């Protein structure tokens, strides 16, 4: 996990009450993606120029931490997306920095609806719905929802091109930082260029994951799988993207007897290799 999520995890564990420990577990079990400012700037531009027709119900995992690395570590920021604790069927949004942490609101998938926190709406109880939608708080929440929705749409178009096991020293450091909690026996850094068509070749990890006698226990992040012209039982057509696609939901696979693998995901937007994925995303928003 990134430094901000790690600090949040440590703080929640140190508090020790049941609610804080529950929060720490959510942080630990979330999928952690690390992107650079260029990745976010591209998504901001797409969202501003080509607004989404509706918010997606597809996330790369049930709970997602998106770490945005600034040029200075003090500028790092993390966004959390996941189930709302009080409202069903919405995606909650929160922002974390080194000096602040606060919820923003939520979006409702398959609609264009964005909601504010109850505490924010309480301050606006004398305003009409139209006045609320014109407020700075609502505009910021809506813009953030469009940007994070765009990020998730691109993250769900993966082709893994590089997978490296973290060095032993880094794994031991992670164990110390997380206070000796139950941790994966192996940490892997997963990199790919969004939209690249190169597929992973089932590299061995030394614990049976990949090709071999068995697979280590690991989380498989959700993504779209393209079957080309071949239609299957669960495949569907997607606007702006040729061929038939099947949604692979996030799940766990493998056997803990062969080890446990934790992942840190480092997706990149390559100027050439990611161009088709970006073009397809734009086409899906501009097609009638």
Residue-level pLDDT at 209: 41
Specify the range with the lowest mean pLDDT, choosing from 69-83, 165-179, 194-208, 215-229.
Answer: 194-208
Residue-level pLDDT at 214: 64
Element (H, E) at 125: none
Kindly give, in sequence order, each residue whose CB lies less than 8 Å from that of residue 278, ignoring residues fewer than 6 positions away: 42, 46, 154, 194, 195, 269
Rounded-to-integer distance, Cα 33 and Cα 266, Å: 6
With H, G, I as helix, E, B as strand and everything else as coil, classify residue 29.
helix
- Model pTM? 0.84
Query: Using CA atoms in the order 271, 276, 277, 282, what is the torsion angle rounded to 10 degrees?
Result: 100
The pairs formed by 171-177 with CB atoms below 8 angstroms and a separation of 24 or more are 177/6, 177/10
Pairing of strands 236-238, 241-248: antiparallel
Phi, psi (deg, nearest 5) at residue 36: -95, 175
Q: Look at residues 191, 223, 262, 256 and name the one whose alpha carbon lies nearest to residue 1.
A: 262
Q: What is the pLDDT of residues 269-284, one digit of tens each?
A: 999 999 999 999 999 9
Residue-level pLDDT at 201: 47
Q: What is the pLDDT of residues 2-37, one digit of tens each?
A: 889 888 888 998 998 999 999 888 888 899 999 999
Q: What is the pLDDT of residues 183-211, one digit of tens each?
A: 555 677 888 999 887 554 444 444 334 44
Residue-level pLDDT at 116: 94
Residue-level pLDDT at 60: 93
Kindly give, in sequence order, each residue whose CB lies less than 8 Å from that of residue 227, ignoring residues fewer than 6 positions away: 235, 243, 244, 245, 246
């Amino acid at each position: 996990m990134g430094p901000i999520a790690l600090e949040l995890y440590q703080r929640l564990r140190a508090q020790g009450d049941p609610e804080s420990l529950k929060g720490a577990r959510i942080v630990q079990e979330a999928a952690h993606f690390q992107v650079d400012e260029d990745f976010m700037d591209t998504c901001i531009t797409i969202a501003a120029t080509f607004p989404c027709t509706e918010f997606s119900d597809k996330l790369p995992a049930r709970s997602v931490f998106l770490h945005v690395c600034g040029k200075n570590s003090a500028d790092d920021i993390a966004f959390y997306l996941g189930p709302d604790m009080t409202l069903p069927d919405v995606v909650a949004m929160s922002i974390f920095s080194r000096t602040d942490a606060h919820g923003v609101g939520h979006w409702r998938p398959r609609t264009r609806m964005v909601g504010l926190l109850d505490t924010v709406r309480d301050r606006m109880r004398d305003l009409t719905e139209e006045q609320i939608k014109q407020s700075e708080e609502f505009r910021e929440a809506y813009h953030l929802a469009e940007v994070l929705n765009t990020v998730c749409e691109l993250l769900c178009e993966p082709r893994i091109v590089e997978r490296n096991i973290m060095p032993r020293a880094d794994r031991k450091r992670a164990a110390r930082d997380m206070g000796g909690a139950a941790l994966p026996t192996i940490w892997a850094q997963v990199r790919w260029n969004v939209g690249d068509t190169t597929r992973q070749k089932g590299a061995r990890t030394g614990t049976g994951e990949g090709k071999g006698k068995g697979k280590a226990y690991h989380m498989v992040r959700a993504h779209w799988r393209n079957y080309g012209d071949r239609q299957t039982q669960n495949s569907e057509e997607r606007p702006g993207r040729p061929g038939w696609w099947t949604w692979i939901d996030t799940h766990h696979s493998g056997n803990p007897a062969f080890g446990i693998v934790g992942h840190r995901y480092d997706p990149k937007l390559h100027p050439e290799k990611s161009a088709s994925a970006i073009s397809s995303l734009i086409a899906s928003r501009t097609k009638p």
